Structure 1
């Protein structure tokens, strides 16, 4: 009788081992890129900086300036600036512009060598040409309307970016003046290559009426300038599209179905086996768990940056995973571990995000696919360095794997 029992037990073990070894597991990595042209990944602080310079012409609008010939009012202008784009549609810059202003004055002491304006409104009204140096520092907020309304496209030839800003305009010529300015303009850029753009910057600045040394009852005065120049874009220059990376395990469905069928058959034969063992004179075995070593293979689900929502694609894979959990060893406990990318976000944010991701997977398995919550244990690791292939996207993930607990 003992020999017969040993043969039956050996046959059970050999059958399980043979079927288990016949299942081929294949790991597939799928990267899905977001096709929404308005949505990109936010870059780091030191990305998307730019440096520009230009030169052009300007004209001053002030008291008595309109009495001069138009050509006599035009003077050279320069423009220097450093800026950064925080997104394809919003950027800031700080810079300086200025040089010389030509206007007219009634005060001969302020005039340019006492030279009279050729164009006089009437004979007894004397105006004199005035020239003075100035500089203007300013800070602007730019709105790239092309990207805001048309979506980001790296190789787009033309972009138009209106801007608003404040500044400080100074002249050290007599009488010295320092005035706060309000600025508005249009920044036009034409792509020359990945690093350089040709630019046309049209700027208007408004300061107090006293800036030119004359109070004429105007609301304000200031220069209107146009500068042609170049801008250099520091790396990183472009914006990445969001992507989702999913690592899935695929099986030989026929072999898996055969294994499950064989396990069920062995489970049905359990009663008969116990009867045989009960008849053995020197052997007492009360329970044989033929599914003791059965478990579902680990699964990894990744998330977009700063997100914890489970995608539909990941839900499909979790459905297969849940089916294996429910059809195999009910005493097997699976650990659901959440992670975040250490390279982005603060430790506090990564701790919260890794916890939310693990809880999201737990809820899908339990609420949507009916996995027994007693078979799941949830934990999180916060932000971690690149776990796989030196790719930070694979650290924005949840890994679920089996733990064998003694019962």
Structure 2
């Protein structure tokens, strides 16, 4: 029994010594806690999360004579070159060059190749094959639906992105033409490694009716482009989880006071060891009980609620009780300040305070009810240092 109680005292002493050693440094310490929320990430700087991409594929122009020209004759090569930046895992922008050539049919000999459209060279059509070079500079806003819906995952194999934007589209052959273009599309990305993605870009483009050099009475003409390419992501790439930084500032005066208290405990421990060595069990047991048995919890005026500080102190007392002699009974005595409130009120308040400590020890810290006893004294005069605040208390003692 004495050995168990002594071990409990040593455990408290060791924990206090470790705390003292950690607090001997001046200044502050930062503790970083990372969020587990997959939607929350740290915002990166301007030079982070840039990328370049290049792609090639095919495109089809939708003009005035689509029904007369075969679909295969209207397919032309496409080239995409872009540079962009992601501002977050969900939102980004890119500036892209798209171009090469357009194929179609013309009735007015505009951009004609001189070849007749098969089967459409007579009977009032007089259609000729058409081809012209063009380029398109456009800015697109990118939205990563995978990150928006499922949260950010740096190692996700596939990401679906939607985008839309505006640009300037120009025919470089005579007769030249410049028009405002609108874009919308799906950008499918497949992760190859942290720096490289494989892309499948499916894009629709709208321009005015006169872009191909003929007026057909349409409100607009368009283009469908499908391109496959690669994207390289520059460092720093990726996103860090959001974090909370807690800084603890050390008070040297409090540290020194704690150090002195621990020194006194060390001296007391040395005396305990000497007492055990001399086999003076009665003396050792008496000293240990004096160290671990008494506990003072102070309440606000007229209140019986436990503060967080009081719960911490009761948690420490609970550990001592658990490590000590299970036959020891602790008396929880409630008090009130006789200078405030009526006698009946103080009687009830002192009991409520004792009940609050009892319930905390039993329900929160698992102390056996058989080791606790409740008592209350009602309103009392100043018990300590002529200070009425010290009478608004609960005192726990062992016997």
TM-score range, shorter chain: 0.5 to 0.7
**Paired residue for 2:105?**
104
- 1:118 Cα offset (Å): 1.1
State how 1:2-17 maps to structure 2 within 5 Å. Answer: none
* TM-score of the two chains, using structure 2 as the length reference: 0.56
Q: C-alpha separation between the residues in 1 aligned to 2:237 and 2:68? A: 48
**Paired residue for 1:185?**
185
Asked if the contact 1:68/1:119 (under 8 Å) is kept, the reply is no
Q: C-alpha separation between the residues in 2 aligned to 1:210 and 1:135? A: 16
- 1:22 Cα offset (Å): 11
* TM-score of the two chains, using structure 1 as the length reference: 0.55
RMSD: 3.3
> Deviation string for 1:268-320 (max 9, x for gaps)?
xxxxxxxxxxxxxxxxxxxxxxxxxxxxxxxxxxxxxxxxxxxxxxx979x98
State how 1:134-213 maps to structure 2 within 5 Å. Answer: 134-213=134-213
**Paired residue for 2:57?**
56
Q: 1:130 to 1:316 in 2, by over 3 A?
A: farther
Secondary structure in 1 matching 2:148: helix
- 1:67 Cα offset (Å): 1.4
Q: C-alpha separation between the residues in 1 aligned to 2:221 and 2:18? A: 86
Asked if the contact 2:91/2:142 (under 8 Å) is kept, the reply is yes
Asked if the contact 2:80/2:96 (under 8 Å) is kept, the reply is yes
Secondary structure in 2 matching 1:153: coil
Unaligned runs of 5+ in 1: 1-19, 263-314, 321-407
> Deviation string for 1:28-79 (max 9, x for gaps)?
7643110111010100000000000000000000111331111101010000
Asked if the contact 1:106/1:128 (under 8 Å) is kept, the reply is yes
Secondary structure in 1 matching 2:115: coil
> Deviation string for 1:80-99 (max 9, x for gaps)?
00000000000001011111
> Deviation string for 1:119-148 (max 9, x for gaps)?
439722221101111011100000000001
Q: C-alpha separation between the residues in 1 aligned to 2:169 and 2:22? A: 68
- 1:243 Cα offset (Å): 1.7
- 1:176 Cα offset (Å): 1.0
> Deviation string for 1:365-407 (max 9, x for gaps)?
xxxxxxxxxxxxxxxxxxxxxxxxxxxxxxxxxxxxxxxxxxx
Q: 1:257 to 1:237 in 2, by over 3 A?
A: closer
Asked if the contact 2:78/2:100 (under 8 Å) is kept, the reply is yes
Asked if the contact 1:67/1:121 (under 8 Å) is kept, the reply is no
The runs of at least 4 consecutive aligned structure 1 residues that moved more than 6 Å come to 20-23
State how 1:184-333 maps to structure 2 within 5 Å. Answer: 184-246=184-246, 248=248, 259=261
**Paired residue for 1:72?**
73
Q: C-alpha separation between the residues in 1 aligned to 2:110 and 2:210? A: 16
- 1:197 Cα offset (Å): 0.3
> Deviation string for 1:203-240 (max 9, x for gaps)?
11111100001101111012211110000000111101
Q: C-alpha separation between the residues in 2 aligned to 1:258 and 1:232? A: 61
Secondary structure in 2 matching 1:197: strand
Asked if the contact 2:164/2:184 (under 8 Å) is kept, the reply is yes
State how 1:335-374 maps to structure 2 within 5 Å. Answer: none
**Paired residue for 1:26?**
22
- 1:172 Cα offset (Å): 2.1
Q: C-alpha separation between the residues in 2 aligned to 1:23 and 1:88? A: 41
Q: C-alpha separation between the residues in 1 aligned to 2:152 and 2:164? A: 22
Q: C-alpha separation between the residues in 1 aligned to 2:32 and 2:120? A: 74
Q: 1:155 to 1:174 in 2, by over 3 A?
A: same
**Paired residue for 2:37?**
36
Computing the radius of gyration over CA atoms, which structure comes out larger, 1 or 2? 2
Asked if the contact 1:138/1:167 (under 8 Å) is kept, the reply is yes
Asked if the contact 1:168/1:180 (under 8 Å) is kept, the reply is yes
Q: C-alpha separation between the residues in 2 aligned to 1:21 and 1:195? A: 49
> Deviation string for 1:153-175 (max 9, x for gaps)?
00001111110100011012222
Secondary structure in 1 matching 2:135: strand
Asked if the contact 1:201/1:226 (under 8 Å) is kept, the reply is yes
Q: 1:259 to 1:65 in 2, by over 3 A?
A: same
Q: C-alpha separation between the residues in 2 aligned to 1:22 and 1:199? A: 56
Q: 1:209 to 1:130 in 2, by over 3 A?
A: same
Q: C-alpha separation between the residues in 2 aligned to 1:316 and 1:78? A: 66
Q: 1:110 to 1:23 in 2, by over 3 A?
A: closer
Unaligned runs of 5+ in 2: 1-15, 24-28, 252-256, 265-306, 313-399
Asked if the contact 1:69/1:119 (under 8 Å) is kept, the reply is no
Asked if the contact 2:49/2:233 (under 8 Å) is kept, the reply is yes
